[in-house]
Amino acid sequence: MNLTQKILKDHLVSGEMVPGEEIGIRIDQTLTQDATGTMAYLQFEAMGVLRVRTKLSVSYVDHNMLQNSFENADDHRFLQSIAAKYGLYFSRPGNGICHQVHRERFAVPGQTMLGSDSHTPTCGGLGMIAIGAGGLDVAVAMAGGPFNMIMPKVVGVKLIGKLQPWVSGKDIILEILRRQTVKGGVGRIFEYCGEGVEALAVADRFTITNMGAELGATTSIFPSDARTREFLRAQKREETWTELKADPDATYDEIIEIDLNQLEPMIAQPHSPDKVVKVKDIAGKPVVQVCIGSCTNSSFHDLGTAAYVLHDHTVNPSVSMTVTPGSAQVFETIARSGALADLIRGGSRILESACGPCIGMGQAPPTGGVSIRSFNRNFEGRSGTMDAQVYLASPETCVACAVTGCITDPRDLEKMGIDYKKIDEPDAYSINDSLIIPPLPPNNDTEIIRGPNIKPLPLAHEPAASFEGSVLLKVGDNISTDHILPAGSKILPLRSNIPAISQYVYERVDPTFAKRAQEAGGGFIVGAANYGQGSSREHAALAPMYLGIKAVLVKSFARIHRANLINFGILPLVFVHESDYDSIDQGDEIVMENIREQVTSDTITIKNKTKGSTIQAKHNLTPRETQIILAGGLLNYTVKHHSA
Ligand code: MIC
Ligand code: SF4
């Protein structure tokens, strides 16, 4: 067996591990972050469970960190009180980005984890099966329920050779994105194997598993080997290590091979993580901003590399450079090693340990500005500036651009007298868990503190006899959840307030959408391929549900968004004939009759009253998903099952 199959088998509670079949797995750990967490805990509360039933659950605060007004601070207090009441660890604001902190302090090889953030697979870097999901799925897991998914294909990514100077893990995953595209990972788990794995630093592994999310993959995983053990030892957690690897005769559903000897510095161009080229092919373009940080690249290795280059050089006067340590631990470690002093002296702007500019929480680039970021997503407008040109690259490439003021292949730094130096992770980190509050003993008197921005949870309803209404919006390929429901400092504070946040649905695509949807009493959305890629934010389904969206009809879906639509009772439909996409227009009046019967058969008949035509769509619902739709969403379904 390969490693994925071994861990899934150990956790299997239902189904058969055959690609395409639905399986249920037991979840050992969960994580939430503040932007998705408030909703997840409101849902958990609604399930009436007294304490989390996982081995370990952690609630992080890392996204909504700007406290322009009371909302975010209120949410932080709500989350802290929830953790106290229900037995979770609480990682306080300032402790760092969930995926960075989790790998440092909690991840355990061989365990499963479900997290309400799409980059949860990061912990696959040390041999976990870690999956991103909507908050409601995570709430069910916290209540002790299994996580259900379609058994993915397992892709073996065979690494051969060794990374060359100035080339790092980010270049590996960018190369995979170049080849496989942002939809190439849908329905797949990427398992890394081959002799090249052994020499790969853990920091590189985490960057790769993190950004596997951009492939649309279910998750990514590395074996747990001697390097994993060293990392856990440096974290004073060596006792959690076990060796885990694929059997020598393991097979994979697909194989990809990457020759690390040949790999060069890569860069993703605006506005998609798969628009990847070699850095040298676009070198020379003027740059105005460089940002190093995010859950992809904010480790000691990443910041240490930037500090090394800035030791005798300064940030170019045309560039504003920000550096974000991924966690308080990274922050303290660079402070003690002296790297922080080099970053400051070199002219970088040091930000607190949080998502920050990655999610548009400050540091929006200037108009039309080129920003080179060590992050994982560059969807249009995500930075906060609609016409900014955001590129994604390794910390090595980022710091090279910061010094020269233009897109620069980091290997060219040698021409400036900067020799390559591999910055290794330290033998021991500065361990200080003072910003982590461990689970408290059960206490019935613990009070949940709710601010005025925390509004009651809107519930989905059982489907009406027929769906009738108009196509409110028609969009193209690769629509991300950042298109459907943007983040950023203005909208993120409304994550606990669905009536308010729903006014921003599709704001950047069509600012009239929310109003039109509400006036029409709901309707339909038509999309194309890979609809709903990107984040796990269930608000991109919950808010459309609130506006009355009944079904979304597309060429194909991204995994998490499809699951979120079902969770909130919205029917996810796929054209039987993709060419029918061209025959349906925004404004068309459509009807789907006898919907409760139709969802129990394979196809749904959609009558287009405007065009006088009929088209067929598939819902691809598993029997369990059909029951969820008929119950009016996962929460209703779960409550019914619990009380049954
Ligand atoms: C993101 O990177 O888009 C986010 C913000 O972390 C999201 C979660 C969210 O929208 O709250 C994600 O990746 O799931
Ligand atoms: Fe935070 Fe960015 Fe990572 Fe999302 S991708 S968790 S916003 S750092």
Token pair, residue 530, equals: 């890979």
Report the pLDDT value the prediction gives residue 636, as an integer from 0 to 100. 93
Cα–Cα distance, 250 to 396 (Å, whole number) = 35
Report the pLDDT value the prediction gives residue 459, as an integer from 0 to 100. 86
For the Cβ of 117 lying below 6 angstroms from any atom of ligand 1, the answer is yes
Report the pLDDT value the prediction gives residue 644, as an integer from 0 to 100. 42
What atom in ligand 1 is closest to the CA of residue 495? Answer: 11
Active site residue 445: no
Report the pLDDT value the prediction gives residue 642, as an integer from 0 to 100. 65
Spot the catalytic one: 62, 137, 274, 580. 62
Ligand lying closest to the C-alpha of residue 99:
2
pLDDT tens for residues 236-250?
Answer: 999 999 999 999 999
Distance 237 CA to ligand 1 centre (A): 28
Token pair, residue 55, equals: 């081995």
Ligand 2 pocket: which residues have CB below 6 Å? 63, 97, 117, 119, 294-295, 355, 358-359, 376
Token pair 């910061």: residue: 402
CB 532 within 8 A of CB 478: no
Cα–Cα distance, 433 to 441 (Å, whole number) = 19
One-character DSSP codes across 4-25: HHHHHHHHEEES---TTSEEEE
| Per-residue 3-state assignment (H helix, E strand, C coil) for 334-390 | HHHHCHHHHHHHCCCEECCCCCHHHHCCCCCCCCCCEEEECCCCCCCCCCCCCCCEE
Spot the catalytic one: 374, 383, 535, 556. 535
Distance 356 CA to ligand 2 centre (A): 8
Cα–Cα distance, 203 to 231 (Å, whole number) = 9
Distance 358 CA to ligand 2 centre (A): 6
Domains annotated on the chain, with CATH: 3-259 (3.30.499.10), 268-412 (3.30.499.10), 467-643 (3.20.19.10)
For the Cβ of 535 lying below 6 angstroms from any atom of ligand 1, the answer is yes
Those residues whose C-beta lies under 8 Å from the C-beta of residue 643, and which sit 6 or more positions away, are: none
Distance 117 CA to ligand 2 centre (A): 8
Token pair, residue 388, equals: 């900014």
Which of 31, 32, 91, 97 gets mutated to test ligand 2 (max ligand atoms within 8 A of its CB)?
97
Report the pLDDT value the prediction gives residue 443, as an integer from 0 to 100. 87
Which of 36, 61, 119, 352 gets mutated to test ligand 2 (max ligand atoms within 8 A of its CB)?
119
CB atoms within 10 A of CB 220: 30
Those residues whose C-beta lies under 8 Å from the C-beta of residue 306, and which sit 6 or more positions away, are: 292, 323, 343, 348, 395, 398, 399, 402
Residues of the chain with pLDDT under 50: 644
Active site residue 63: yes
For the Cβ of 31 lying below 6 angstroms from any atom of ligand 1, the answer is no
Active site residue 171: no
Those residues whose C-beta lies under 8 Å from the C-beta of residue 419, and which sit 6 or more positions away, are: none
Which of 33, 91, 117 gets mutated to test ligand 2 (max ligand atoms within 8 A of its CB)?
117
What atom in ligand 1 is closest to the CA of residue 355? Answer: 6
CB 540 within 8 A of CB 567: no
Report the pLDDT value the prediction gives residue 643, as an integer from 0 to 100. 55
Active site residue 51: no
Burial class (CB in 10 A: 0-12, 13-18, 19+), 262: exposed
Over the Cα atoms of the chain, what is R_g? 24
Token pair, residue 582, equals: 């061209």
Burial class (CB in 10 A: 0-12, 13-18, 19+), 441: exposed
Dihedral sign, Cα of residue 267, residue 269, residue 273, residue 274: negative
Instruction: Report strand pairing: 22-25 vs 153-160.
Output: unpaired
Spot the catalytic one: 377, 450, 561, 619. 377
CB 135 within 8 A of CB 42: no
